[in-house]
Amino acid sequence: MSRNPVVVVTLAIAIAHLSPASASASDSPASTTREPLVIPIEIRDNYPILMATVAGIEIPLKFDLGDGDPLVLHQEVLDQLGADATGATAKRRGIDGVFEAPLYKLPRIQIGTATFEDVIARADVRAGDYKPGEQGEKGYLGTRLLKEYVIAIDYRGRKMTLIAPLDDRQVSRYCPGIAVPFLPEWNGAPVTGAETDWGRAVVWWDTGAPVSVLRETFKNDPDAKSRDVTATTKRFVLGDADLGPVEFNFWAMELPKFDGFVGYNFFERHIVCVDFPGNKLIIGPG
């Protein structure tokens, strides 16, 4: 695992969620079919990987809840697909500073039986020591294409299910559990509050995080000065439910008004449904 796989990837993308005016997508909504769409996933080194098809070519993608753009692809894949350069760029901010990536347009992308047209893809350019493709992926699927759905993320079942938000029967079927509202100041991003043994944390729910991690200053522990430091909170209270214990790493991170990420070790224990239209999570029992 690289020096900062969560921070370089996810923090850079968090900015896209927070800045709608700079969002880099002109994509169309998904197919109008209202049946739940089941997408198989693999788990590689704690990351969910799914397959997308573009121009008849299958492309493995990480699914990253922290990514507010529709699609991120490695430059060689964009070249192979003959993607049209838009002439525009997207600025993002990572732990090593601001970087800029060119934007491309793809006429069509298929994920399972869901089809998206006129999709804007960002070239996978990052700052610092970021190395793309370490888990065999060729890019990332962000959340922009999926905002009209309830997304049931089931690591144990090795699948994601896209559900029409108005289909209460299917939502109840795939997403039993407790509802946890997004914090309204985060403009529809999957960010919630959580009560821990160390106080209240503002956490981003992120499939792009291979561990759950908090900034090292959150715990106010002089020993928490290394990314190798971990600690377990017995309490992890969301609304009226305590879903602890949860283990967190503590890393040196500068995060914009939130404290860390809920990552793989929580998703592997719970089905987590992300209801973007309803601005909430629905978390199943462990």
What one-character DSSP code corresponds to residue 144?
Answer: G
- Give the residue-averaged pLDDT of 36-61: 95
pLDDT, tens digit, 9 for 90 and up, residues 166-206: 889 999 999 999 999 999 999 999 999 999 999 999 999 99
CA gap 166, 61 in Å, rounded: 28
Residue 168 has what DSSP assignment?
H
Report the pLDDT averaged over residues 64-71.
Answer: 90
Range with the poorest average pLDDT among 18-22, 53-57, 124-128, 273-277: 18-22
pTM: 0.86
Domains of the chain: 5-146 (2.40.70.10), 178-283 (2.40.70.10)
pLDDT tens digits along 201-224: 999 999 999 999 999 888 766 554
The whole-angstrom separation of Cα 246 and Cα 266 is: 7
Largest CA distance in the chain: 54
> CA nearest 34: which of 151, 175, 162, 144?
162
Under a CB-based contact definition with an 8 Å cutoff, are residues 210 and 65 in contact?
no
Helix (H) or strand (E) holding 153: strand 150-154
Which pLDDT belongs to residue 191? 97
Residue 146: per-residue pLDDT: 94
Asked if the model's pLDDT at residue 256 lies above 70, the reply is yes
Would you place residue 16 in the very low, low, confident or very high pLDDT band (cuts 50, 70, 90)?
very low
Alpha carbon dihedral 44, 27, 18, 201, in 10-degree steps, equals: -40
